Structure 1
């Protein structure tokens, strides 16, 4: 701005001097000076319209901790060189940065690579971008804005785990003596009919051949449902300055969901604000929905764990509630104990240091798994 004012001041000064002196040479210098300024202005307008900016992101989905990059390609489509250009990047992936390129020859392009590592899950954007262009003498400045964005999704890590579950929970394809879990599509064997068997079990064709009644026994497969309750109470993450605790909770959620889906266990993610089902999954093909949910849910709520109306109605009897939380107190434990007394199996994934609940271990009457296991102890559950 200062250089521009100086140029116009000199132009006005020479014009004034030429008028008062009526000197032919002075007028000629004034005209040449004015044409010089005009040419710089026209040059800048032409060059601005001849510049193009392209952004290339080879991948759009990442895992927390992975290195990612995108490429900025600046192209000069003009036969005139560009003397001063600055690229301003307003991307949310790493904050804005200025990149100066002092010279770009005619019909040439320049590539810049931006590498970064994102420690937190979520949705990020590459862009928008801004070009700041100046004429060779810095008299005029023009800005060209590119309002396009590339969406990048950063998902939590998925770990291979084997949750420690009680046999009574009947999760997955496991043996069970309860006939409620019989799979009527898979007959295991035939046996002689005994009083008390349902008439629906009688195999009539075999009974007709044998001359006596035979009953069908079916393969037992327990297909109970799992309900994931992911603690998103912001008050439980006050000490989580670097976001590591939040990331571990997200890892736990997607890891448990993947295990259930691979084992053929129906799994549901509860919506934290309402307590209703947010995501349902039956097979591993549904796992993508849980990954998407992991980058849209964050601990931003004031609502307490289990502070939902009708949670015992949403979760059917004989189902399993898996609570993923970094915080446990007496109130929460009492609620979980009451829920388990209604017939719902409860399993806690505690995502925090063991020392924070060491004094409460003896009061916990539900299954428990410690996601962190620095102390190496096994307490009422198993460590991941």
Structure 2
């Protein structure tokens, strides 16, 4: 793309308005000489810039491998001037650092001699998780008189997948009556009473049945038995990303908070060797993922890196179809930005089916995003259904480690 600078256009127009009448009506050597000089004065810089911009090549190099939010990386740029002309004034504009780290758009101004290369790099701290396609950088060339500006977009064909930062929970309560290690569960369904995993000091809320009486008698203080998980222990997590709830999500705040809370729970359960099944959607496509130990974490990280509030399918319909196929006893965690009557009814239905529902509701009060109906919140609490409320500014670890017993 070429742009004639406004001052150039004005000078060019005025000059030709004066000289053309002389050439047409008077003639003579001097008017034609001035006319030709004017033409060449503009044509030569134009042709110089045109050939130079055609000869510019560029590339961007970004580190490969697993990258996480908070990592520090170097972005390397290379430009080659393959044309036979030197470039007096070359501008390089790149939005890559702004996308990855929220920095100002990069702008570099240099001269570049013919058949030479130019290298530069910038260091950025990855400010957020996500999948980024670095489509192009913009190159601008000016002539020495600043008559013309030629612009060229160089496609980089570079992409970057940034995993979210994992928040490690020391405990997480699903329901409030019995413990599975540090994972609170409703009953002994999740424990294999024939296999003791460890012994620890008694804590308030532990059941009397779990006390190791012989060791307690020797130590003079209560010792509690912790049992290994049964092989069929499992938790289902549903991420509600229906698009209408995210229409006004400022800077994708609620998206990120849903990812932080979901990843912390998934990571915790995988460390406990709890089988996790997770379901969400991407536009009109349903996404399902499962795992049972820390080796299975990477696919979850990739899913969370790409997670967006763009689901086109109705959340209520998806959950109802899931409930119809659900077996009794499973912990059912719903992470949503919208707790209304319909969502509350689903929680109560899950409890009636002898499942263990739990809600994590994500909001952004500062921007008036997210919704919690107070009557539904109170009803869930009355039914003994755990409810965690996570505002964008809340600390995930502080909120999710709170006991509801």
CA contact (8 A) 2:359 2:387 kept: yes
- 1:324 equivalent among 323, 335, 339: 335
SS at match of 1:160: coil
Determine if the alignment matches structure 1 residue 366 to structure 2 residue 371.
Answer: no
**Aligned match of 1:203:** none
- 2:160 equivalent among 152, 175, 190: 152
Q: How does 1:343-354 map to 2 (within 5 A)?
A: 343-351=354-362
**Aligned match of 1:135:** 143
Structure 1 or 2: more strand by fraction:
2
Q: How many residues align?
A: 349
CA contact (8 A) 2:173 2:401 kept: no
Q: Which TM-score applies when normalising by structure 2?
A: 0.66
Determine if the alignment matches structure 1 residue 382 to structure 2 residue 393.
Answer: no
CA contact (8 A) 1:170 1:222 kept: no
- 1:335 equivalent among 323, 335, 346: 346
Pick closer, same or farther for the CA change 1:104–1:179 going to 2, 3 Å.
closer
Query: Offset of 1:222 from its aligned partner?
Result: 0.5
**Aligned match of 2:172:** 163
**Aligned match of 2:76:** 71
Query: Offset of 1:233 from its aligned partner?
Result: 4.0
- 1:22 equivalent among 28, 40, 44: 28
Report which stretch shifted further, 83-92 or 335-344: 83-92
In the TM superposition, what whole-angstrom CA distance separates every residue of 1:258-280 from its partner, at most 9, and x where no partner exists?
22222222211113588966112
For structure 1, the 5+ residue unaligned runs are 187-218
SS at match of 1:55: strand
How far, CA to CA, are the matches of 1:130 and 1:378 in structure 2? 45
- 2:262 equivalent among 233, 250, 253: 253
Pick closer, same or farther for the CA change 1:277–1:341 going to 2, 3 Å.
farther
In the TM superposition, what whole-angstrom CA distance separates every residue of 1:319-371 from its partner, at most 9, and x where no partner exists?
22122234434543343232123232223334459x98574564142344555
Pick closer, same or farther for the CA change 1:134–1:356 going to 2, 3 Å.
same
State the superposition RMSD in angstroms: 4.8
CA contact (8 A) 2:59 2:156 kept: no
CA contact (8 A) 1:132 1:141 kept: yes
Determine if the alignment matches structure 1 residue 46 to structure 2 residue 77.
Answer: no
Report which stretch shifted further, 66-75 or 141-150: 66-75
SS at match of 2:357: strand
Query: Offset of 1:38 from its aligned partner?
Result: 4.5
Report which stretch shifted further, 164-173 or 137-146: 164-173
How far, CA to CA, are the matches of 1:236 and 1:247 in structure 2? 14
Pick closer, same or farther for the CA change 1:101–1:123 going to 2, 3 Å.
same
Pick closer, same or farther for the CA change 1:265–1:139 going to 2, 3 Å.
same
CA contact (8 A) 1:84 1:103 kept: yes
Query: Offset of 1:82 from its aligned partner?
Result: 0.9
Determine if the alignment matches structure 1 residue 291 to structure 2 residue 301.
Answer: yes
How far, CA to CA, are the matches of 2:138 and 2:399 in structure 1? 56
SS at match of 1:227: strand
In the TM superposition, what whole-angstrom CA distance separates every residue of 1:58-90 from its partner, at most 9, and x where no partner exists?
357544455555333333345643112233446
How far, CA to CA, are the matches of 2:51 and 2:321 in structure 1? 67
Pick closer, same or farther for the CA change 1:238–1:108 going to 2, 3 Å.
closer
**Aligned match of 1:200:** none
Determine if the alignment matches structure 1 residue 267 to structure 2 residue 276.
Answer: yes
How far, CA to CA, are the matches of 2:67 and 2:192 in structure 1? 40
For structure 2, the 5+ residue unaligned runs are 196-226, 366-371
How far, CA to CA, are the matches of 2:356 and 2:167 in structure 1? 23
Q: Which TM-score applies when normalising by structure 1?
A: 0.69
Pick closer, same or farther for the CA change 1:314–1:275 going to 2, 3 Å.
farther
